[in-house]
């Protein structure tokens, strides 16, 4: 704590990201994609002229937004691009959720949401998940200054279909509903087609997971031009150039290779189901998942101990030390070989 900090900075509770270890571990802790980005990405990196870096990038990211609009089946004026979806979320909190009434969210969801609430002085009201760990959409429809949740949700892996989101939007019409679709490509159903019908719906997405580009920092939002304009107002009051020239070119190359995208996301889904089966054989209870991770608990083995045992043997997973999650491990889906190594270690630890 430093006296040199602004008073408000002393009050912050920063997000704690999963560790990025320097030693060589099988890394199943931050939901990164085990496959490299599309081959076109390597071509862009090889051929990119350093001279392009002399100039500022396009402040409106129009080429990237065109490409996103094409991939998502929207128009470019319904798309906003930013420096990772965490940044897009931060801009959305400022643009839409600084309201008199508190922001409604599930009690178990992406832990960045409460961090932004504190940062921007936004009160929140949280609602428990249903018994099957699904987000309680009926509860989220109650009076609030806005609604946010991840769909599929993290770290539970449960996702609601588009019909359920539409039903929520029929009830909530006077405030923004933000659906964070960081994991939707691994088996969820996107709410993007609803954007045309509901001007208060904002959907965010990221290149970090299904596009294997977590190191690049690219994210986006899809919504009515009215909402996009709100985001642009905040962006242009903070950083006019969030997406750099290289990131834009790489992002476009990743979006263009639809075959590679299909193949890698299917591979993750197949490995996930295989992993769920193998964990179940070891006595784990594994929640169904529409994401690139699973949440698992073992009735006879303490999750914190399993986390440490795995780490000692070179496998890194995520353990959240909260009341609701401390009996669970969140395990990202890697390659089949990586998941075999995980299972081998768990066979020893669960003997």
Q: Please tell me whether residue 289 binds ligand PLP under the rule CB under 6 A.
A: no
Q: From CA 152, how far away is CA 134, in angstroms rounded?
A: 9
Choose, by CB under 6 A, the member of 33, 144, 208, 248 that binds ligand PLP.
208
For residues 239 and 309, which CB has a smaller minimum distance to ligand PLP in the complex?
239
Instruction: Return the number of the residue (140 or 154) whose C-beta is nearest ligand PLP.
Output: 154
CB of 7 to ligand PLP, least distance (A): 28
Q: Report if residue 244 touches ligand PLP, rule: CB under 6 A.
A: no
The residue from 32, 86, 185, 338 that contacts ligand PLP (CB under 6 A) is: 86
Q: Where are the beta strands (DSSP E) in the chain?
A: 26-27, 79-82, 103-106, 124-127, 146-150, 177-180, 201-206, 219-223, 285-286, 293-297, 315-316, 329-332
Binding ligand PLP by CB under 6 A: which of 85, 248, 332, 341? 85
Stretch near ligand PLP under the rule CB under 6 A, chosen from 84-92, 192-200, 247-255, 305-313: 84-92
Measuring CA to CA, which residue among 258, 271, 253 is closest to residue 63? 253
Residues 94-123 within binding reach of ligand PLP (CB under 6 A): 110
Cα separation values, 114 from 44, 87, 179, 210, Å: 37, 15, 15, 25
End-to-end CA distance of the chain: 45
One residue of 34, 84, 242, 251 binding ligand PLP per CB under 6 A: 84
Phi, then psi, of 320 in degrees rounded to 5: -100, 125
Pick 156 or 341: Cβ nearer ligand PLP:
156
Binding mask 154-193 for ligand PLP (x = CB under 6 A): x-------------------------x-x-----------
Helix (H, G, I), strand (E, B) or coil at 69: helix
Whether the CB-CB separation of 233 and 95 falls below 8 Å is answered with yes
Binding site for ligand PLP (CB under 6 A): 84-86, 110, 150, 154, 180, 182, 206, 208, 214, 219
């Amino acid at each position: 704590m430093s006296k040199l900090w602004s008073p408000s900075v002393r009050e912050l509770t920063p997000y704690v990201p999963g560790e990025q270890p320097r030693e060589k571990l099988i890394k199943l802790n931050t939901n990164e994609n085990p496959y490299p980005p599309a081959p076109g990405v390597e071509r862009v990196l090889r051929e990119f002229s350093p001279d392009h870096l002399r100039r500022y990038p396009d402040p409106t990211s129009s080429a990237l937004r065109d490409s996103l609009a094409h991939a998502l089946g929207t128009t470019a004026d319904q798309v906003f691009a930013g420096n990772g979806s965490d940044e897009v979320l931060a801009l959305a909190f400022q643009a839409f959720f600084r309201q008199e009434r508190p922001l409604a969210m599930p009690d178990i969801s992406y832990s960045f949401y409460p961090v932004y609430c504190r940062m921007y002085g936004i009160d929140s009201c949280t609602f428990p998940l249903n018994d099957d760990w699904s987000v309680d959409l009926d509860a989220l429809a109650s009076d609030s200054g806005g609604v946010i949740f991840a769909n599929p949700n993290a770290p539970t892996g449960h996702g609601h279909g588009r019909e359920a989101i539409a039903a929520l939007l029929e009830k909530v019409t006077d405030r923004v509903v933000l659906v964070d679709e960081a994991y939707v490509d691994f088996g969820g159903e996107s709410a993007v087609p609803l954007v045309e019908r509901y001007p208060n719906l904002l959907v965010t997405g990221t290149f970090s997971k299904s596009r294997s580009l977590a190191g690049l920092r690219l994210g986006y939002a899809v919504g009515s031009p009215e909402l996009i304009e709100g985001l642009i107002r905040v962006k242009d009051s903070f950083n006019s150039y969030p997406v750099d020239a290289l990131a834009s070119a790489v992002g476009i190359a990743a979006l263009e290779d639809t075959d590679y995208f299909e193949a890698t996301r299917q591979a993750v889904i197949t490995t996930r189901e295989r992993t769920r089966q193998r964990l179940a054989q070891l006595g784990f209870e594994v929640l169904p998942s529409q994401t690139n991770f699973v949440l698992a608990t073992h009735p006879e083995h303490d999750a914190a101990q399993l986390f440490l045992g795995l780490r000692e043997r070179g496998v890194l997973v995520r353990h959240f030390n909260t009341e609701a999650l401390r009996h669970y491990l969140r395990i990202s889906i890697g390659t089949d070989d990586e998941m075999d190594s995980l299972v081998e270690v768990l066979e020893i630890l669960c003997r």
